[in-house]
Amino acid sequence: MNSSERRMKLILMLQQSNHRITVNDIAEKFDVSRRTVFRDFNALSEMNVPVTWDEYNGYGIMHGYKIPPLMFTTKELATILVGLNFVKSQVDQTLISDAKGVELKIKEVLPDELLQFMESLGKRTVVDPYMNFGAEKKEGGNWYLISNAIADNKKISFDYRSKSDNNISSRKIDPYLIVFYKDHWNVIGHSHKREAVRNFVLDRMSKVEVLSEEFVPYGQIDVEGLIFRSDGSSRKIVIDVHKNSVSRFKANLPTKIIKNIQKNPNLFRITFEFNNLDYINKWLLQFHNNVKVVDPKVLIEKRNKILNKMIDNT
């Protein structure tokens, strides 16, 4: 345990104790010398932590004192760093800029010891290198406005660019969730145009506006139900997956698995529903010959067609 972690635990110990605490108690608790305990008290004093002492109660902390929010242990700081690096790996330039701003604010108030730790670890922690170094950064729908609308149960309006023909139409939705799908962010909500729940990709949204109108969710929001919902356009898909790829297949499949049966020691049969066969056909290419489409026949035909096209283009 380093000195920053020990001092953080010392503050908690002094705050939570209901009996007399002496220097010897603290030294024994943290397995350090009395001199180290007094050094810790001096460090806490420099950080404006109001340590108290009297002969009856021993050491404590002034009643009502709140722990400063940026007194992290190294483990907590490493966790925050991983989260910030994940956000900085995104394709949305706005999210990247905001994450860098948060990182700078944290660094400004950290003690020198933790600051050195954060800077050293930051240079050696990379989250999703293909997204971080390879993906084109772009401006997307205003995630901050949308997240505020979700928190306040406010409707939003925006212009939406269609993926198929790039046509732009005006939309109005009750936003329920913001969801990250591997390389892009979506907002899921009730579309007033379609009178149904729909997904909208943030980087195709523009002129986002939070309206004064509030919406009332129908009961508690079912996060899993919204993300993995199925509609009339979804098709049941059955894929045989070799054991060498099954873990990665299940971890990255963009929908919920309905059934997973081990056919033999080397093969798993996985069943799920999806509403875009062209997308899932391209998605399957990453698994090479470790997957085989069992059903539906139309997906088998699409797979053969795309593989033949790849061969013809070489």
pLDDT tens column, 198-253: 889 888 888 999 999 999 876 567 777 777 766 566 889 999 999 999 999 998 88
The β-bridge partners of 58 are 21, 54
Q: Give kind and range of the element (H or E) at residue 29.
A: helix 23-30
Report which of 203, 169, 173, 209 is spatially closest to residue 186, judged by C-alpha positions: 203
**155 contacts: CB under 8 Å, gap ≥ 6:** 149, 172, 173, 174, 175, 210, 211, 213, 214, 215
Among 94-103, 122-131, 245-254, top mean pLDDT goes to: 245-254
pLDDT of residue 289: 92
Eight-state DSSP code of residue 132: I
Domain ranges in the chain are 3-61, 74-134, 143-226, 235-312
| Rounded Cα gap, residues 28 and 45, in angstroms | 21
CATH of domain 143-226: 2.30.30.520
Give the angle 11-12-18 at the CA atoms, nearest 5°.
110
The answer to whether residue 131 scores a pLDDT higher than 70 is no
Percentage of residues in the chain having pLDDT higher than 90? 33
| pTM value surpassing 0.75 | no
Distance CA 118, CA 287 (A): 37
Q: Binning pLDDT at 50, 70 and 90, where does residue 171 land?
A: very high
Integer Cα distance of 114 and 121 in angstroms: 10
Crossing angle for the helix pair 3-16 and 34-46, to the nearest 10 degrees: 80
Q: Right CATH number for 235-312 from 3.30.450, 3.40.1360, 3.30.420, 3.30.70?
A: 3.30.70
CATH architecture of 3-61: Orthogonal Bundle (1.10)
Tokens 């523009």, residue located: 206
